[in-house]
A and B are shown apart, each in its own frame.
Chain A
Amino acid sequence: MSTSDQHPTDVATVDGGEVARRFENPGLPDHRHRLTDIDAKAAKRAERQVAALFGLSALGTILTLVAYFSVKFEGNLTMDQHLSRVELSNILLGTGLFLALFGLGAGAIHWAKTLMPDEERIELRHPMRSSDEDRADALAILAEGAAESGFGRRPLIRNTLIGALALIPLPAIAFLRDSGPMPGTDLATTPWKAGDRLVRDVGRGTPIKASDVQIGSVVHVMPDGLQAPGEKMEERAKAAVLLMRLDPADLDPASKGGAYDGIVAYSKICTHMGCPVGLYEQQTHHLLCPCHQSTFDVTKNCAVIFGPAKRPLPQLPITVDEEGYLIAKDGFKEPVGPSYWERG
């Protein structure tokens, strides 16, 4: 059997039979009528569907309003009751709005798809480029205008104008100067100083007796006076400290200098990007930062053993006062937190 017999004509030929290099665009296929174009009943059905969708939308709007005015959060409610009301309100309002909006949208689209003309039309494009004539005219006008202004002929005007324009953004930059103070030593200092008591970083903030710190435990610490959240946030952001107690035998000599009987204190502010490094694994003695997974080894003076941080967490040297409470032996010896240019 021969298949070539079935389509001998649609291969484009040029110049008496020589076969062309490319096929020719066959043009738009014939328009196929939809069911709704030829069947009045189908059209009527589509019309009813569209109307039903619009009706659904109206119902949705009413549901939204009813939900808004009937589900209230007032009165003496327990928290769970209150939250359940909020949940119910949220579901009803959202679903109502969904019906109202989706019904409207789906109705309009269904209308367009089934009942509005679906025969594709053709519009011609024109190149974006203007005609040569227009371009020449435009250039001539610009040249004429430039000549009229004397911009080229009067260099004094031109040069002073350029100079003035170059200067004018400067106030915009200068005016931003007072948007913040100079860094000064703020990045390099923390509130910690020798003799500061270490207190627990929650609520009332109680001082910590060295004898109360068990091996394997961890205490989140602030200097006395900064324990309440909400106060002096800038100081808290630098002063947060993590206190851990290890078997003194596990600590390397570098950590021991600032340690007291196996109790060590390190800055909680990640040297990478400043997240609080609070995840202490008491068996491995690893500290993990939850933001970018920098891992510090407490037994190695908090050196980085994994992740994007470079520098160890700075150690806060500690000792005890005469009452047995932990105090800072000294402030931090280096800036805490993320790196910056002047850190050196």
Chain B
Amino acid sequence: MSTTTSRAASGLGNFIDERVGAGKPVKYLARKLFPDHWSFMLGEVALYSFIILLLSGTFLTFFFVPSVGETTYNGAYTPLQGQRVSEAFASTVRMSFDVRGGLLMRQIHHWAALVFVAAIITHMFRVFFTGAFRKPRELNWVIGSLLAILALIEGFLGYSLPDDLLSGNGLRIAYAIVLAIPIVGSYVAFFLFGGQFPGEAFIPRIYTIHVLLLPAIFLALIGAHLLLVFLQKHTQYPGPGRTNKNVVGYPLFPVYTAKAGGFFFIVFGVIALMSAVLQINPVWAFNSYDPSPVSADAQPDWYMGFMDGAVRLMPGFFEFTLLGHTWSFNIVIPALIMPGILTVLLILYPWIEAKATGDKREHHLLDRPRNVPTRTGLGVMAITFYLLLLVSGGNDIFATHFDLSINDITNTLRVLVIVLPPLAFMVTKRICLGLQRKDREMVLHGRETGTIVRTETGEFFEVHQPLDPYARWRLVQHEEQAPMALPEVEDEHGVRRPGGFGARLGYRLSKFYFEDRVTPVSPAELEAAHHEHEHPAVEGHAAEPQAHAVTAGD
């Protein structure tokens, strides 16, 4: 740096520091360490998609007219020529065809929205499967869950704004869901929509919520989310030199500034490229919303697909009339109760698991998913359930593209959605336990080298290369978690202890989580294995020491 620029920089630095005291935070932040791993960038994909959404969305507001007032289309697209359409729809087509870059911005906004939700969900997978939600990060898990749910709502509102045929039918479904709420449904629906569906009030209302209210809540929650990451420092994967009491990584300045800053432009670039060559939501083909027509392949955007899929699976007999009122459980269960229960379970999960472990310590080292088979199994179970609902949400597309009967798909999914998730849980858990055993095998007997040696007595065996301490540490570092002891529910006089229920629940949960487990290799076991290795003929019986390390029920 030349002396003039460095003088100018120090002058600016001085100016700022004397006014806001920037020295201290800079000192703290610039050398703050971040561990490096690709999976830690998933949250950043979500964050950057959000920034892209803010930027492109602001551009769209310059041209979008949030009104369902009627107008006549008079633009370049002949199939719409002279059609009576809403202002919202007409302005969306106009910005696509008559504003340079307008179509690109629309497509960037829509692709970024799809990637935003996808990134949030993958980020949650990472946090879940590595146990990053454990103490002290439960609050950030809650904030993240709220962000995920808000993202679904924000996405749905944005999808509805252009007032096209596809989104209009989506809104009609949303209206029906509100109507189905017992007791207050019709009132809430009329207040939300300003009267009967579709009305003229709803599009302007959701516009304000979409561009002002929800983004503001997003910014506040994202701010809190990031603040907590800073305060609590980032988690890290286990490995040599990494402990629960340190952070190993690269400083924010310059390495992470370059990497994370650069990654923003990568995300923006990839979404720009997608928007350049992949068409999304061609509203001009749908035309303006009208309650009479409808199109085949009526679908919501993918993130609402699971709810739509659940609605499709529900048999009609869940609706009934009782006491002179209509109870539409065929709608309320899949569209409100099921997502509600999933949300509550999602938010409460850190505490559910904490109840099973009884662990009050802070955790900054991540789990390898195989080392916590029950949690990993539960996660895969939830994903399986979600995916089946998603498939159901696109059952008509699957029917036409795979030559299947839509009725067969629906009937099969009705069964699978109940049978497959528990199966996925069991299979995943077994796979995790198997992988742990493989790890043990690796630690005890080393890597297979492929070299076959013949002993003097004529026996053959394969030479195994023992692991170096660094490689071995990765496989033995985790703690074994055993189920807690059965609590004494009665005191010595046979009287039930107060709080016995909670203790027994914890015991049962703990048993469910940790009954089947594989113990990491201890130095003693390795020592013993080595002794056996001194007599190569015993190689074949090497599985023996592991047999007693694996508990019953396994």
Contact = CB atoms under 8 A, between A and B. Distances in A.
Q: Do chains A and B touch in the complex (CB under 8 A)?
A: yes
Interface of A: 1-4, 6-7, 10-13, 19-23, 25-29, 68, 71-73, 77, 79, 82-83, 86, 89-95, 97-109, 111-113, 116-118, 120-125, 127-128, 176-177, 179-183, 186-187, 201, 220, 222, 228-231, 233-234, 236-238, 240, 268-269, 272-276, 278-279, 290-295, 304, 306-311, 337-344
Given A23-B473, A275-B172, 6 more contacts: A23-B469, A27-B241, A94-B273, A116-B255, A180-B191, A304-B316
B192 A179 contact: yes
A125 B364 contact: yes
Contacts of B264: 105
B190 A183 contact: yes
A108 B277 contact: no
Contacts of B197: 234, 237, 274
A112 B36 CA distance: 12
B4 interface: no
Contacts of A73: 76, 97-98, 100
A11 B523 contact: yes
Contacts of B536: 1
Contacts of A93: 100-101, 104, 276
Given A27-B241, A29-B240, A94 B272 contact: yes
- Top 10 A-B pairs, shortest CB-CB distance: A94-B276, A108-B262, A28-B241, A105-B265, A102-B269, A101-B269, A237-B291, A4-B530, A112-B258, A105-B266
A341 B182 contact: yes
Contact of B191 (A19, A21, A120, A179): A179
Contacts of A176: 191
27 contacts: A3-B533, A4-B534, A7-B469, A20-B523, A21-B523, A21-B524, A23-B473, A23-B523, A71-B100, A89-B100, A90-B107, A93-B276, A97-B268, A104-B269, A112-B256, A112-B262, A177-B191, A229-B290, A234-B195, A234-B199, A236-B292, A273-B177, A275-B172, A292-B308, A308-B315, A309-B330, A343-B325
Contacts of A102: 265-266, 269-270, 273
A21 B426 CA distance: 30
Contact of A108 (B258, B293, B321, B395): B258
A182 B251 contact: no
A19 B233 contact: no
A313 B190 CA distance: 23
A308 B249 contact: no
B534 A91 contact: no
A107 B316 CA distance: 57
Interface stretch (B77-85, B210-218, B366-374): B77-85
A25 B77 CA distance: 68
Interface of B: 32-33, 36, 68, 70, 76-78, 84-86, 96-98, 100-101, 103-104, 107-108, 136, 169, 172-173, 175-177, 179-187, 189-199, 201, 231-233, 240-251, 254-256, 258-259, 261-270, 272-273, 275-277, 288, 290-298, 308, 311-321, 324-326, 328, 330-331, 362, 364, 395-396, 406-407, 410, 446, 453, 463-464, 466, 468-470, 472-473, 476-477, 520-524, 526-527, 530-531, 533-534, 536
A341 B466 contact: no
B165 to A, nearest CB: 10
A26 B470 contact: yes
A295 B407 CA distance: 10
Nearest to B464: A3
A337 to B, nearest CB: 8
A276 B276 contact: no
A254 to B, nearest CB: 18
A90 B316 contact: no
Contact of A338 (B180, B199, B267): B180
Contacts of B240: 25-29
Nearest to B78: A79
Contacts of B68: 233
A246 B364 CA distance: 71
A71 B97 CA distance: 12
Contacts of B136: 128
A120 B316 contact: no
A159 to B, nearest CB: 32
Given A121-B248, A338-B180, A344 B269 contact: no
Nearest to A91: B276
B378 to A, nearest CB: 27
A31 to B, nearest CB: 11
B248 A310 contact: no
A117 B331 contact: no
A128 to B, nearest CB: 5
Contacts of A291: 169, 173, 294, 298, 308
A279 B296 contact: yes
A72 B101 CA distance: 10
Contacts of A220: 292-293
Contacts of A308: 311-316, 330-331
B396 A290 contact: yes
A62 to B, nearest CB: 15
B84 A229 contact: yes
Contact of B294 (A29, A276, A309): A276
A127 to B, nearest CB: 6
B172 A128 contact: no
Contacts of A179: 191-192, 194, 201
A123 B84 contact: no
B275 A105 contact: no
Given A310-B319, A344-B326, A101 B272 contact: yes
Contact of B97 (A2, A86, A182): A86
Given A73-B100, A105-B262, A220-B292, A3 B530 contact: yes
A209 to B, nearest CB: 21
B424 to A, nearest CB: 25
A250 to B, nearest CB: 21
A99 B315 CA distance: 51
Contact of B272 (A25, A97, A272, A309): A97
A82 B104 contact: no
A309 B328 CA distance: 10
B294 A278 contact: yes
Contacts of B531: 4
A180 B276 contact: no
B254 A116 contact: yes
Given A338-B180, A342-B186, A236 B290 contact: yes
Given A3-B466, A290-B296, A125 B325 contact: no
A30 B276 CA distance: 46
Contacts of A27: 240-241
A230 B469 contact: no
A106 B103 contact: no
A237 B468 CA distance: 72
Nearest to B406: A293
B254 A112 contact: yes
